[in-house]
Amino acid sequence: MVAVEEPIRRAYLVKLVGEEGLRIVESMPSDEVTDEHMAEVTGISLNTVRRTLYLLYEHRLAIYRRKRDPDSGWLTYLWMLCPENFDKALEAEVRRLIRKLDARLIYEKDNVFYACTCGCARFVFEEASEANFLCPYCQEPLEYMENRKIVETIERQMRDLSAAFS
């Protein structure tokens, strides 16, 4: 059985394979197992078990080997987790998130924003001026919106993510 106790790993796995997928991961033995056996053990549908295992395989968190039954010719897939790859996958996800946050930070710093007084939407200056500073959805005025807190939040998130994997 694989115990996924760290909140960051749990959150990553839930994002990747969902709550049922996390139950499957936590129920996996340390040796090879069939998808049918995992469906029986967890009570989760075979399709969900297979989808989860293939998602884990795509992210290099699981491997499989095929074994052909000599009598029937049927292929059996034997699955095994690769817990040693969890940290690498998590680090890759963190790098991806930091890149996205960096792009968002640049966008926030490079633009001036106006927001609808009714809360419909937020617009960059060019869009607001083209609409004569009226919301295109409700025709209420658009007002200047300070985005300093958004910038600070993005910078804090980037620092937190960087610190977690330094």
What one-character DSSP code corresponds to residue 134? B
Determine the Cα–Cα distance for residues 71 and 42; give it in Å rounded to an integer.
29
Predicted pLDDT of residue 4: 66
Q: What mean pLDDT do residues 62-83 have?
A: 93
pTM, two decimals, is: 0.71
Query: How far is 37 from 34, CA to CA, in rounded Å?
Result: 5
7-81 under CATH 3.40.720.10, yes or no: no
Please answer whether residues 36 and 24 qualify as being in contact, where contact means their C-beta atoms are separated by less than 8 angstroms: no
Residue with tokens 């491997």, as numbered in its chain: 63
Q: In the predicted model, is pLDDT for residue 3 greater than 60?
A: no
pLDDT of residue 166: 64
Sequence spans of domains, the chain: 7-81, 89-164
Contact between residue 77 and residue 35 where contact means Cβ atoms under 8 Å apart:
yes
